[in-house]
Structure 1
Amino acid sequence: MQRYFIPAENYMEQQAIIRGDDAHHLMRVMRASPGDRVVISDGVNREALAEVVELYKENVLLRIVEERPMAGEPHTAVWIAQSLPKGDKLETVIQKGTEIGAVRFVPFMSARTVVQYDARKEAKRLDRWRKIAKEAAEQAHRGRIPEVDEPRSWKQLLELVPETALTLFCYEKEGAARLRDAVTAAQLRSEPSAGRPVLIVVGPEGGFTEEEAKAAEEAGCAVVGLGDRILRTETAGVVALSCLMYETGEMGG
């Protein structure tokens, strides 16, 4: 069943209104007619089965049929911090990460980031990243749309570490801990982070420098490896997220 996130002000007690691109999608792409049903969510704490009542030129009026418990959100909140990669690789990370269960994406610049940061261009890209997160959340039947932050510096990223229950610093060095061992040490299986997030940190195409790895350890990150194979930057975060979700029981583990 088609799913739409709508602003809280358009989600009333007995009715709801879908506007803008979502209304166009429902009317023109899905070819909805009165009586058709969809799932709506305010992305905060309300979700419902709703029925199309009337289709107007630019919006769709719905009747709330049944309020439902919000589903699709993991018990452990996971953030993915991704050093800005080339091209549209971050779009892949956001799309697949949202499907798997990430709740926030934190782009950042590190020493070997090759992308030249331009605030004006990044504003447009940020809008696109957020749109991708919304569409992926709808497709995956998430209860909320993940946040996508503005790009930040390496120093600013490390300032997030004290906010987390565990920060996994993905680094291909000999002797790096296993992700499973880090999760066990943080007791995430028995205590789903007590409301604090788990942060996964992934470097750029050229990887992190030794200085960055040292700074990450000093900041309190757990340095972990993802196996004996070298993963592409757009793959590493998704793999780490999948492993983490499995280890915390979100994927049948």
Structure 2
Amino acid sequence: MQRYFIPENQWQLPNDRLIIKNDDYHHIVNVMRMQIDDEFICCDPSEQSYLVKIVEIVDSDKTIHGEIVKPLDEQNELPVNVTIAYGLPKGDKLDLVVQKGTELGMRELIPLKMDRSVVKWDEKKADKKIQRLQKIAKEAGEQSHRQTVPSIGSLQNLRSLLQDRTFDQIMVASEYEAKSLENKDNSFAHTIEHFNEGDDVLVIVGPEGGISEAELQLCQEEDVTPIRLGPRILRSETAPLYILSALSFYLEEWR
């Protein structure tokens, strides 16, 4: 069943009503061709989902008036809140990570300025890039039946990220660990054994050129746990998806 994320100011919960407009109106009316009494799922910002019925379509101001049929009991989110901090990559790799990361349960993505990032964002255009990524996350969240849309953070550097944010677990994917199988404590499997439900988890992934020695030193100074993602060296866009897939399997299916 089709799903939509509706902003807080469009809900009229005391009356069990909501108003749908903008891109969602276009999709419901012009793409899905829905009519009066058709039903779909809407999620509010608190991650509660509802079965909603169309009671009125107002073409003059391009709005849909919906009525809540019933709240739904869903649990589609990862048991930990995963933020991916990703060194700016080339091409459309960031789009891919946002889309697939959303499908796999990511809560937030933070673009990082890193030493080996070839791409440099124009500060004047950064907001438009983030808005575009946020739209990709919304569409992927609807397709994958998420209960919330991952947020896209503003562009940061590694030092400010580590000093200004509070997480229960902080990890950095390190190619140096991938080349060394001797330290079992730095395997990803060993690290996630210590995760608890509700933990806020930050994972740092470098760009195509990897994480510089200076950045790894900074991570060490800030007590960031280096992790090995198997013995092979993964592409920058593969690593976040590996991490999210492994977390989903271990926390939702295995443990």
Q: TM-score, normalised by structure 2?
A: 0.91
* Corresponding residue for residue 42 of structure 1: 44
Q: Secondary structure at the match of 1:159?
A: helix
Q: How does 1:30-179 map to 2 (within 5 A)?
A: 30-57=32-59, 58-160=62-164, 163-173=166-176, 174-175=179-180, 177-179=186-188
**Aligned residues of 1:3 and 1:40 also touching (Cα < 8 A):** yes
Give how far 1:46 is off: 2.9
**Aligned residues of 1:80 and 1:200 also touching (Cα < 8 A):** yes
Give how far 1:244 is off: 2.1
Give how far 1:196 is off: 3.7
**Aligned residues of 1:50 and 1:64 also touching (Cα < 8 A):** yes
**Aligned residues of 2:159 and 2:218 also touching (Cα < 8 A):** no
**Aligned residues of 2:173 and 2:229 also touching (Cα < 8 A):** yes
Q: Secondary structure at the match of 1:122?
A: helix
Q: Secondary structure at the match of 2:252?
A: coil
2-side partners of 1:199 and 1:160: how far apart?
A: 13
Q: How does 1:194-213 map to 2 (within 5 A)?
A: 195-213=198-216
After superposing the two structures, state which structure 1 stretch, 79-88 or 6-15, moved more. Answer: 6-15
**Aligned residues of 2:77 and 2:146 also touching (Cα < 8 A):** yes
* Corresponding residue for residue 9 of structure 1: 9
Unaligned runs of 5+ in 1: none
Q: Secondary structure at the match of 2:102?
A: helix
**Aligned residues of 1:179 and 1:244 also touching (Cα < 8 A):** no
- Letter in structure 2 aligned against 1:34: I
Q: TM-score, normalised by structure 1?
A: 0.92
1-side partners of 2:6 and 2:90: how far apart?
A: 32
2-side partners of 1:102 and 1:251: how far apart?
A: 17
Percent of pairs with identical residues: 36
2-side partners of 1:166 and 1:160: how far apart?
A: 14
For residue 246 of structure 1, the aligned residue among 228, 244, 249 is 249
Unaligned runs of 5+ in 2: none
After superposing the two structures, state which structure 1 stretch, 152-161 or 46-55, moved more. Answer: 152-161
Give how far 1:122 is off: 1.5
- Letter in structure 1 aligned against 2:35: S
| Cα gap change, 1:90 to 1:251, in 2 (>3 Å) | farther
Give how far 1:45 is off: 4.0
